Every structure is written in structure tokens, then in C-alpha cells.
């Protein structure tokens, strides 16, 4: 299998170098390497018997990437691969710019994607603690006109609903959108999404409609060398909307007869300061919440989590950044419908991230 992926990469290079002279081709990429210690409280481990510490010493195969941008008049494309063999394709899309709009088809970033956190260890990890990652990247048709972007996205139906449903019926794509506002030194992103599908019992042909939605806001502002980012979002059944939902987004509950919708919400804030052209300091705090009114046994009735980080990115050379960092993520407790409280533990990371761009 690895040889097949290497062959694909060679073919892409060959195509790029033999492209017509009038087409512009720009290559880019980076390698991200993590050298951290991971400390887990016993409640966060699988066995839940003792605290555990482990060395993290690896390339981040999810964020490291190699890509190329192509441009030929009003048409452009982006191909981006990563060494994570389970999901080699990061982006694969093409665009047509017409008049005031741009139409893009393929695999790409969804318009409601937002990422407030700036952690260096496995970028995007704060999504598990409330950062509104949303769809991230998927197959879609996307239209951007001025500050408005709308997309029809492949529906996400991988969530395992605790119901006698052996079939999933879809008839509509996921709808995602965003709108950008500029107010003085601040930029404000409004975003939202909606998805609906049916979980069907094949034996009776009876189905339950599972609707998911999110709406949120992400403001950012810069004041000289200082900057601030924040977000707030709320939604319904985020666990069925995307696999990138916070750990508290478990989706609806099944009580043996009906599905009960769940409410999700989260907020966060990031503060940063550019000390010099080669160094800055940044820290952030995030929290998310889940609540469902009906369920059984150990089903999640209420669940919360939170996390924070602080780092010091240092640009050692033009294309080389070293980032000392400390992160703490608390999965906190959750309450079940059996009246009990269950501890889920916390995890601490501390170490250095190494990044070389090319």
C-alpha cells in the first residue's frame, strides 16, 4: 500500500512539471515533529487504575503535508497530500472565478470551519475541547461571493445511534455557510450549518429523523503587537454533525422508543503578543458543554470539559520554528441518567514542537 502512495506522489510531480508553460505551479509544504511528555490521570487511562506518563516522539502525520497550487487564467486548483496513510488526501479541488464569484468543487475546507486555538502539538486538538472545527475538510460544492460563502457538503452519517437502525437514508447534502464582517480593527466571522438524515430499522422500514445544526461567531482583533481571538457557538446533536465535534458532543439519546435531541455549546478565548519579528507568546482557554433531557442508564445527561495552553513560538530561521508549549485538557465529570457521576480524568502535555516549511 505504501508503494502505491509513493507512486501517486511521483505521478503528481510528473504532471506538475509537464504542465503547459502558461499554467503557474507553486509547491509548498511542511514537516511537524512533536517531542512532548504526556501525563494522564488514572481516570483518563483505559484501565483507570493508575496515573500514566508517556513520551510523545513522532512526526505529526495529520498536519505535515506536501501540496501544489495550480493557476491558469480564471481556473485554479489545489492538491495537498500528507503522510497519514489512513487519510492521505488533505485537499483536492479546482475553482472557476467568474465575475464577482468563485465556484469550487472537490475536497476542501468547509466554510463554517473555524479554529481559534493556536496549539503547536497536533494542531486542531483544541477542537475536542470546544474549538469549532465543524466539518473541517470534506467533499463539497462551494460558492463564494464577496464576504458570503455557501457550500453543499457530503453528509456525515458515521455516528452510531443507539437504536435498532441498520440503515441510513440520506436525501439532502449538509448545508454550511459563513459570512465575514470587518469593523474597525476587528474581523467577525459568522458561521453555521445544518444536516438531516434518517436512521432506519431495515426489518420494519421505520425511521427516526436525526437533525443537527450549529450557529456561531468568531471575532478577532489586533491592537499593535497584541491580538485577541474568541468564539462562541451553540448547536443541536453535534455528535451526528461531524466527527470533529468536541468530546462532549455525544449526539441524541435513544430510550427504546424515541430519539431525544441533545444541546451543545462552547466558548473560548486566545490572547497573544508579538514580542519581536521572531518570537511571540500565546495562550488560550476553551470549554464545551452537553445536555440531554432524556435517556437511560449511563447515557450522557450532562457533560463538560475544558482546556488551556500557553506557548512561545520562536522562529530560529526563516523556515524553521521551534515552539515550547504547555497544554492541559480536563475531560471533567459527566452525569448519567442513573443518577451517578463518572470521572473522566485529565491529560497534560509539555514539550517542544519543531516545524520546517519548504
Residues 250-256, mean pLDDT to the nearest whole number: 83
279-301, pLDDT tens digit by residue?
Answer: 999 999 999 999 999 998 999 99
User: What is the predicted pLDDT for the residue at 163?
Assistant: 60
Question: Higher model confidence: residue 269 or residue 88?
Answer: 269
Closest CA to 302 of 329, 328, 339, 268: 339
pLDDT at position 324 over 90:
yes
Cα gap 65→115, rounded to integer Å: 18
Contact 211, 195 (CB under 8 A): yes
Residues 237-261, mean pLDDT to the nearest whole number: 88
User: What is the predicted pLDDT for the residue at 102?
Assistant: 98
User: What is the predicted pLDDT for the residue at 201?
Assistant: 79
Question: Higher model confidence: residue 313 or residue 243?
Answer: 313
28-84, pLDDT tens digit by residue?
Answer: 999 999 999 999 999 999 999 999 999 999 999 999 999 999 999 999 999 999 998
18 pLDDT band (50/70/90 cuts)?
low
Cα gap 254→296, rounded to integer Å: 8
- And the C-alpha cell for 16? 506538475
120-136, pLDDT tens digit by residue?
Answer: 998 989 999 999 989 99
4 pLDDT band (50/70/90 cuts)?
very low
Cα gap 256→163, rounded to integer Å: 7
Output the pTM of the full model.
0.89
User: What is the predicted pLDDT for the residue at 20?
Assistant: 52
Three-state DSSP class for residue 155 = coil
Closest CA to 94 of 85, 110, 107, 81: 107
In order of their start, the domains of the chain are: 42-357 (2.40.160.10)
Average pLDDT of the chain?
A: 91
User: What is the predicted pLDDT for the residue at 164?
Assistant: 64
Percent of residues in the chain assigned helix, strand, coil, to nearest 5: 10, 60, 35
- The percentage of residues in the chain with a pLDDT greater than 70, rounded to a whole number, is 92
Amino acid at each position: 500500500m505504501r508503494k502505491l502512495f509513493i507512486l501517486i506522489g511521483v505521478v503528481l510531480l510528473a504532471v506538475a512539471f509537464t504542465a503547459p508553460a502558461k499554467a503557474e505551479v507553486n509547491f509548498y509544504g511542511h514537516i511537524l515533529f512533536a517531542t512532548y511528555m504526556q501525563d494522564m490521570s488514572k481516570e483518563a487511562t483505559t484501565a483507570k487504575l493508575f496515573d500514566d506518563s508517556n513520551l510523545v516522539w513522532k512526526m505529526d502525520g495529520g498536519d505535515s503535508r506536501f501540496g501544489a497550487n495550480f493557476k491558469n487564467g480564471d481556473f485554479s486548483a489545489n492538491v495537498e497530500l500528507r503522510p497519514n496513510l489512513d487519510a492521505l488526501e488533505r485537499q483536492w479541488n479546482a475553482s472557476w472565478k467568474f465575475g464577482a464569484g468563485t465556484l469550487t468543487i472537490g475536497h476542501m475546507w468547509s466554510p463554517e470551519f473555524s479554529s481559534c486555538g493556536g496549539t503547536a502539538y497536533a494542531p486542531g486538538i483544541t477542537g475536542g475541547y470546544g474549538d469549532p472545527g465543524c466539518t473541517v475538510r470534506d467533499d463539497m460544492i462551494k460558492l463564494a461571493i464577496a464576504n458570503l460563502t455557501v457550500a453543499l457538503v457530503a453528509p456525515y452519517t458515521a455516528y452510531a445511534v443507539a437504536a435498532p437502525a441498520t440503515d441510513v437514508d440520506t436525501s439532502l447534502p449538509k448545508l454550511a455557510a459563513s459570512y465575514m464582517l470587518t469593523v474597525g480593527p476587528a474581523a467577525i466571522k459568522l458561521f453555521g450549518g445544518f444536516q438531516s438524515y434518517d436512521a432506519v430499522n431495515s426489518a420494519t422500514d421505520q425511521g427516526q429523523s436525526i437533525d443537527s445544526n450549529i450557529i456561531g461567531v468568531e471575532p478577532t482583533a489586533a491592537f499593535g503587537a497584541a491580538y485577541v481571538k474568541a468564539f462562541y457557538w451553540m448547536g443541536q446533536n453535534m455528535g451526528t454533525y461531524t466527527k470533529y465535534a468536541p468530546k462532549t458532543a455525544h449526539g441524541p439519546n435513544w430510550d427504546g422508543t424515541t430519539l431525544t435531541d441533545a444541546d451543545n455549546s462552547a466558548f473560548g478565548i486566545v490572547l497573544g503578543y508579538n514580542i519581536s519579528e521572531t518570537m511571540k507568546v500565546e495562550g488560550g482557554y476553551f470549554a464545551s458543554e452537553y445536555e440531554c433531557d432524556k435517556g437511560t442508564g449511563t447515557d450522557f445527561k450532562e457533560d463538560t470539559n475544558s482546556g488551556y495552553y500557553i506557548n512561545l513560538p520562536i522562529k530560529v530561521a526563516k523556515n524553521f520554528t521551534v515552539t515550547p508549549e504547555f497544554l492541559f485538557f480536563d475531560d471533567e465529570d459527566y452525569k448519567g441518567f442513573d443518577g451517578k457521576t463518572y470521572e473522566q480524568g485529565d491529560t497534560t502535555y509539555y514539550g517542544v514542537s519543531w516545524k520546517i516549511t519548504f
